[in-house]
Amino acid sequence: MNIEELRKNGFRVRVTHYRPYNLVRVTQSTVHEEGLVPAEEIDYLPAMAKHELPAELHKYVKTHGGYTVVELTSPDGVEVSEVSDCSATEPFNRRRGVTIALGRALTALKQAKEAK
């Protein structure tokens, strides 16, 4: 089943793509000699969904890595959530991420219903 078929059958389907960005946050306010900041004071931002960042920062998205989350709620209220990770060495592919995460979510949904 694909997302369109699931929605027609009464399922609620939510898909969120998280991408890594070339952005850092300085964890201390001290700037050292020559404007340098030691590596231990730099906090790399985790992968984020596009809607979590202002539009002017979208240009810093990395082409590789990231993950996709698919959340399913069946018509009878059973909820599952599954993830598909993209390796940092692979280009991010939304379609493939959705396919993998959706397959995992459907398997988890089947197992959850069997456990009831």
Give 52-110 pLDDT, tens digit per residue. 888 888 888 999 999 999 999 999 999 999 999 999 899 999 999 999 999 999 999 99
Report whether 64 contacts 92 (CB < 8 A).
Answer: yes
For residue 78, give its domain range: 3-115
Return d(Cα 46, Cα 83) in angstroms, integer: 16
Return d(Cα 36, Cα 19) in angstroms, integer: 27
Instruction: Look at phi and psi of residue 33 and say left if phi exceeds 0, alpha if psi is from -120 to 50, else beta.
Output: beta
Q: What is the pTM of this model?
A: 0.82
Work out how many domains the chain is built from and give that number: 1
How high is the pLDDT of residue 29? 59
Tokens at 30, concatenated? 């001290």
How high is the pLDDT of residue 111? 95
Segment (H or E) for 67: strand 64-73
In this predicted structure, the answer to whether residue 112 has a pLDDT above a threshold of 70 is yes
